[in-house]
């Protein structure tokens, strides 16, 4: 039973790493919005939001794809 559990874990982890690596190679990073300041002046309300981008190096995507493929190849079904 423990072997099957490890095999399932390898299978799931392999798929996740493979998908994440491919996404990293295709998009090269991700963006998010960070809310910085809020100002309330009576009926007026101001807020500043900064859009940040995190770049992921291509070698990280390649390593994730290779590792995910290796985990899928070694997972026994």
> Tens digit of pLDDT for each residue in 13-33?
999 999 999 999 999 998 988
30-66 pLDDT tens trace: 898 888 777 777 788 878 888 999 999 999 999 999 9
Total domains in the chain come to 1
Residue-range definition of the domain harbouring residue 27: 2-74
Q: How far apart, in Å, are the Cα atoms of 47 and each of 34, 35, 52, 75?
A: 11, 7, 16, 50
Distance CA 49, CA 23 (A): 26
Q: How far apart, in Å, are the Cα atoms of 4 and each of 1, 9, 13, 26, 75?
A: 5, 9, 14, 33, 9
Distance CA 62, CA 72 (A): 15
């Amino acid at each position: 039973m423990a072997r099957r559990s490890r095999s399932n874990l390898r299978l799931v982890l392999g798929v996740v790493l493979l998908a994440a690596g491919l996404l990293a190679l295709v998009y090269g990073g991700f963006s998010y919005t960070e809310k910085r300041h809020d100002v309330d002046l009576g009926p007026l309300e101001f807020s500043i939001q900064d859009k940040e981008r995190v770049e992921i190096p291509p070698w990280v995507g390649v390593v994730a794809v290779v590792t995910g493929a290796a985990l899928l190849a070694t997972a026994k079904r």
